[in-house]
Structure 1
Amino acid sequence: MTTATIPDPWPAPRAAAPVRATVALPGSKSMTNRALVLAALAEGPSVVRRALRSRDTLLMAGALSALGSTLDTSGDDWTVTPGWSSADTAVDCGLAGTVMRFVPPVAGLAGGRISFDGDPHMRTRPIGTVLDALRDLGVAVEGDALPFTVAGSGAVTGGRVVVDASSSSQFVSALLLAGARYDRGVEVLHRGAPVPSLPHIEMTVEMLRAQGVAVDTHEPDRWGVEPGPVKPVDLVVEPDLSNAAPFLALAAVTGGAVTVRDWPEHTTQAGDALRDILARMGCTVERTAEGLTVTGPDRLAGLDVDLRDVGELTPAVAALCALADGPSRLRGVAHIRHHETDRLVALATELAGLGADVEEHDDGLSLRPATLHGGVFHTYADHRMAHAGVIVGAAVDDVLVEDVATTSKTFTDFAPFWAGLFQG
């Protein structure tokens, strides 16, 4: 079974008994795409092992190929040979925020005019902060939103730049990743409300340092990258821990036990916060020889939590809270209004459509116990919304998830894989 044969809307499987399963997840999208960018900037050929094969990562591979690198994505381990093109070319961002934000700072180092565009939904996502920063650093940019064009000159002056990254940590990561190849490096200062999703910046910094790049982080809201070479990448990509959310949630809502294999002992991935979140909701969480095992409780507790640093988990956590026996308050995630869709509006609308007692706030959601029922759960071309829909569907009869195939953004053939966990 493949995504081509999946009906739309898709009948989400309903668990008839506690689900017990062990799953091996695809690699981290965040790590894969950062590694590919660094490999394209490196001094020599690189290998990204156990790379995630998904729409987002293939779009990144296509973008870096357009700029002149040679990528072989045919196997589990992807190879990258860096190079630069002087030809005019186009980059398809699709729905990948990492492509739209991480590639323009690299494009300034190429030699041609690089035009960027993407899916209609992507045209509403913020990018102006990165483009303004690039102009300040000496890059010629035409436009302030998709579609836009970067006129590469083969070199970027770099230096100091002030940004407001309060709507996305990717604004900072984008500039840091390419900064070592700029003549003066880059110094990024944030001015504004707190930066969300800080673990993603920590991941960027850690991966840069692993490639021999000097990064100064001793002051809050300031990151400095020294100019210099980037060592070739040889990285084993961790499992995507944010993609673990629906699978671990399946144990939580069915009273079952799900093990995610190869859960890392140390990680900068935001998904690692699932261990604490699920424990607070009453689950038993333990490391085993295989990985991380979550066992669901008889009754799921409500939750009051600030998700600012791990906003991508909000859809899955909101779905769990809609099924909990107590009230919940999710806060600190105003920035997820600018993700693939306005996730707060989308979650409030779709959960309420299934009977949830949910209230939208400027920075989050409140949920109170209610009896849920079936219906169509719309996804807004957002893979995390699809995750929320299937979580509810595991505990509620007759939930239909619209466009479940959008999960291919980070997990090819998610739907048949998910359905297979309910067999028997």
Structure 2
Amino acid sequence: MTLCIDDKHIDEIRNIPTREKFLKLLDDLENCNEDAQKQKIVEMNEIIDEMNEELFKSVFSKEMFDKIDEMIEEKKLTLENAVLLLKHIGYLKGLIKMWSNNFEDSKLIKRIEKMIAEEEKKKELKNEKLLVDICECYISLRSGFPPELLSICVPCLLKVALKKEESEETQKETEMALLALNRISAYRDVEQELYLNEIREIFKYHQEHHNLTRLSYQSVWEFLFCRLFYDGDLEDIILNELHLVREATRELEELSKCIDWKKNEDKMKEMKDESVLGRWISTLNIYFRECQIRKKEHVVLIGCIVQMLRAAKDNHREICEKCIELLITVSYNTTVEIEDLLKSGAVDAFLGEIIRFDLIKSPVDDYLQFFENVCERLKNVNKKENEETKRKETKRKVFDRLEEEGYEDCIILFICCIVEEEYRNIFFVQRIEDYFVHC
């Protein structure tokens, strides 16, 4: 349905700064009928879509949530329209991964908690759509969750995500539900019985029918990765049943094709694909921090990250930094062999940046950390003879590669740079031997 907005109304708010524009529209809701409210909320949601974290914190204060609560109480804002607005606020909060206690500190949270409990008590008579909507508002806006409400809200969110329709409206609803679900992923009190069978079904259906948006699919993977901290037995399911390496590599490659790597990121009009790509890289960082299973296919996924690091380093600094952080995490993980870091190109990528070292522009601490991790692992003597032989062979390959590029000469040269420039990493000189493979 197309909503027409009066030209005079547009002129009145065109030049008002975003925060004031949004709050003016909120005030206007009190004097509108239900249909006019809905029209204004559509406009408010469009403004929300353009907000960054700083603006979000400025607009969505405790006082604003208290005002919405008061408007609902005095019947100046219908519950349906309040939900329409609150779900969109929660959606943005999930997109920018912002944690704020303003909602928790407001009167509105008590109203929603009471509504959830009362609606659940109705059993067969409960309004399923209303319960799903208020659970989504609650989960997406909160930063901490009582276990008794999680047991109600999690099944509600998964019920939305299990819908098989591929309409744009259903896809959006699913995206909002899975993004909200992510907010509870790191909480201990989420039992597998609440989510695992449904998550499996969501994955398997998507892998066959591709019914989820890219953001939805990334969100559900992130939920599982975060659960690894509490549910280590999920790793076998993630790798062997849900095919993480294949799926993550495919998603990264497809998203990478959607980005103009030669264009500067701050000039790009379409940022959603880049945002989802950044979320994937950060999500894989969680996975490689927790994974305990050695999988030879990991080298393919790591190679994909290396390719993106190379593509992003000139014009997409945020993506580049996420790739660097992920590869450092990978270098820590002993389930990933040093041989895999060679095969994937990670060693060459970091070596190339070390050789082109610029004291001012390069994140040299990060590159040094990678090589410190590699060198430390190569120095560790394994008691098993066959593995010790393999370690020595790998060590020789790494040393030959670094020697060919003059890596250790660069490390020694850094000492002069550090002294002259009063470089911030004062520990570097004290630990210089940690960066040499042959030590």
TM range (shorter): under 0.3
Larger RCO (CA under 8 A, 6+ residues apart) = 1
The structure where strand makes up a greater share of residues is: 1
Alignment TM-score, normalising by the size of structure 2 = 0.26
Q: Which has the higher helix share?
A: 2
- TM normalised by structure 1 equals 0.27
Structure exhibiting the larger radius of gyration computed from Cα positions: 2
